[in-house]
Amino acid sequence: MSQNPLRLLLDFDDRIQRDRDQPSAFLHRRDRRFALDCEQQGITPDASHWLAHMDRLSGPGSTVTAGSRELRLWRRVNGGFVAAGCLIGILTMLGLLFYDGGQRINITVILAFVLFQLLLALATTVQALVGWQPWRWLLKRLRRDHASPTRARLQPLLMARAAHAGGVAFGLAGLATLLVMVVVQDLAFGWSTTLDTAASGYHNLVNTLATPWSWLWPAAVPSLELVEATRFFRAASGTTGIDPSRWGQWWPFVVMLWLTWTVIPRVLLLILSQGLLRHRAARLLARHPGMQALLYRMETATLDTGSSHNDAADLPDTRTRSRPDLLPDTPIMICWAGAGEPELPQRLQAPDTRIFRAGGRATLAQDDEVLAQVGDQLAGQKAPAVIVVTRSWEPPTGELHDFLETARERWPSGARVTLLPLASDPNRPPETHLVQPWLRFTERLAPGFASVALPPTDEPDPYLAGSVQP
């Protein structure tokens, strides 16, 4: 299990959301057992080890976690912002450097635009810290506006990180365009403003902005003589008395100005947003309501009296709540999460048997396709029935619960599902203690929809042989 705090939080939150439909007693026994196993192995139980344990319980093939899916979505969002930033950066720089041979490229406009970009970058970080979401319209398009409360708290920082990634791409694309334009064109820079500004005052401004790189590249710091010589006025008709080569001496300053005050702040704020995101994810994980409940279940011993009543005068209920049913006569069979591999019981291998495979390594799209194909097979049958083959030694999972609930909604009315937990030897019945979790699992489904059957073998049914009390 990855130690990335963001992915860890997303996986944990998803698992807690799926555990909401499970009985509290079942969750307590499961997590207490996990804590005792960790104690025997000398491992400190934490969220990472617990998620890895839950993945093992879910069976092989469940490698794509909820955190991976969520981060994959945000990587696509970041990629979209980067692509848009590159395109806008190129077009913006071409607009700023537009030169028709008449008027000069105004340094004042470039200074104002760089200041605007700096303020925009700072505003993006501030809105993420205060939780404001100006990108809510985009989240609605991505269908992320109804996320869990934990994920909703992460969305401002996630969107700020995407915006900063786009800002970095914007700055780098603009810088590359500037350097190309310097090489392929003879650009003429100058400065002008409607305000009554002296050349000395303008020189102080650009000299202050050039302070960060003045020691590194002195040629990129405009001199007072350059500032005085390159001021132009809109009404001026010519450049008499000015050396034409001086109009191009501003380009080192423009390059360093763009790099220092547009690209570098975005890079630093992108790194900051990533650090803030990891810090908030770690804090949300520690304060997650499900974490507090998990720690309580792991630290508190379980006490199972065997009674389902609240009256203390009742004797413990030692009867099983349900019994295995008879195996239905149906040729439709679904092997769940690799069950039935490498072979099914010999008595189930009839020529007309239709075998479908779902869960485990199968994707959600493949599971949906299996549901649709089985629904077509059941259409028109008087007593539609399906056998779902599972592994008896693997406990029921939330994925199987969701699969069966979806099947109940899509399949014809009156369809029944029979769970067939197989032993490691498919031609022998499973141990009775391994069948009990599957019997309890069917009780959590819709009444009358699912039952459990034992595989047909030559050995006697342990439930009829007296090994389990009626």
Dump the DSSP string for 387-431.
Answer: EEEEETTSPP-HHHHHHHHHHHHHSPTT-EEEEEEE-SSTTSPPP
CA distances from 317 to 28, 29, 143, 444 (A): 20, 18, 47, 19
User: Which pLDDT score, from 0 to 100, does residue 233 have?
Assistant: 64
For residue 309, CA distances in Å to 27, 28, 40, 306, 315 come to 19, 18, 34, 9, 9
pLDDT confidence tier of residue 318, bands split at 50, 70 and 90:
very low
Residue 465 clears pLDDT 80, i.e. is over it: no
pTM score, whole prediction: 0.60
Contacts of 409 (CB under 8 A, 6+ apart): none
Q: Per residue in 374-402, pLDDT tens?
A: 888 888 788 889 999 888 888 888 788 88
> pLDDT-derived band of residue 3, with 50, 70 and 90 as boundaries?
low
Tokens of 274: 């990533």
Interval 237-258: pLDDT, tens? 454 455 666 777 889 999 999 9
Q: Who contacts 295 (Cβ-Cβ below 8 Å, separation ≥6)? A: none
**How far is 432 from 461, CA to CA, in rounded Å?**
10
Beta-carbon contacts of 136 under 8 Å, excluding residues fewer than 6 positions away, are: 145
Compute CA 384 distance to the chain's CA centroid, rounded to the nearest angstrom: 39
Alpha carbon of 223 to those of 28, 193, 204, 255, 323: distances in Å?
A: 75, 19, 10, 16, 93
Share of the chain above pLDDT 70, in %: 83
Distance CA 163, CA 422 (A): 52
Query: Which tens digits make up the pLDDT trace of 86-117?
Result: 999 999 999 998 876 666 888 989 999 999 99
Write down the domain spans for the chain.
66-283, 332-452
Give counts: helices (H), strands (E), the chain.
15, 7
pLDDT surpassing 80 at residue 312: no
To the nearest whole number, what is the mean pLDDT of the chain?
Answer: 81
